[in-house]
Amino acid sequence: MKLIVGLGNPGIKYEKTRHNIGWRIIEELFRQMGIEQWKMEMKFNAFEAQNIINQEKIILIKPQTFMNNSGRSVKSTIDYYKIPVENILVIHDEIDLPLGEIRIQQERGSAGHKGVESIIEHLGTNNFNRMRVGIKSDKQEVIETEKFVLQSFTSEEEKIIQEIIKKAVVLITTAL
């Protein structure tokens, strides 16, 4: 059994922000897996979907706790399903990577990412897989990180992001 977590913030106003790239990728993965509907699981405070791939159950979640409390949803999900921490993939934005760069890594610190920090805190370990998706812009103004990640991509950046979403889904499905 594997758990794939897309990090983001609930609500229309956050939908296309840089911070919600994890949700956008997991939404595309959801579509490509042919799953028809997300189910709100109150016990996880997350939208959940499931599928079987290569005879293994794959669980997708989109925590509804807002980014900074994502660890609560992840912890309750893995406790309920008894998922080993090393079978978790967390997809999130990464301000330290150039726009569109993807890195899959394990056992990293949060690097200041509050959603990842929450997951590490709730799980008591950083021994899970992460897909870090670069959101840093060459044309980025000097503003606070919190304000930058809540900005939408420019139309030029959005074209790049559409391709990155597709690439990320291919990477994930190949690994399954």
Give the pair of three-digit tokens for residue 148: 């930058």
Domain limits of the chain? 2-175
pLDDT value of residue 21: 98
Q: What is the pLDDT of residues 24-55, one digit of tens each?
A: 999 999 999 999 899 999 999 999 999 999 89
CA nearest 78: which of 91, 65, 66, 88? Answer: 88
Give the pair of three-digit tokens for residue 38: 């997300």
CB atoms near residue 104 (< 10 Å) = 14
Cα gap 32→14, rounded to integer Å: 23
pLDDT value of residue 128: 97
Instruction: Report pTM.
Output: 0.95
State how far the alpha carbon of 153 is from the alpha carbons of 28, 101, 162, in Å.
18, 15, 11
112 and 152 Cβ atoms separated by less than 8 Å: no
**Of 19, 92, 113, 122, which is the active-site residue?**
19
Segment 81-94 shows an average pLDDT of 97
pLDDT value of residue 140: 59
CA nearest 27: which of 174, 175, 162? Answer: 162
Position 171 confidence tier, pLDDT thresholds 50, 70, 90: very high
CATH of domain 2-175: 3.40.50.1470
Segment 52-81 shows an average pLDDT of 96
Segment 13-33 shows an average pLDDT of 96
Active site residue 113: no
User: Within 2-149, where are the H helices?
Assistant: 21-32, 70-81, 114-123, 145-149
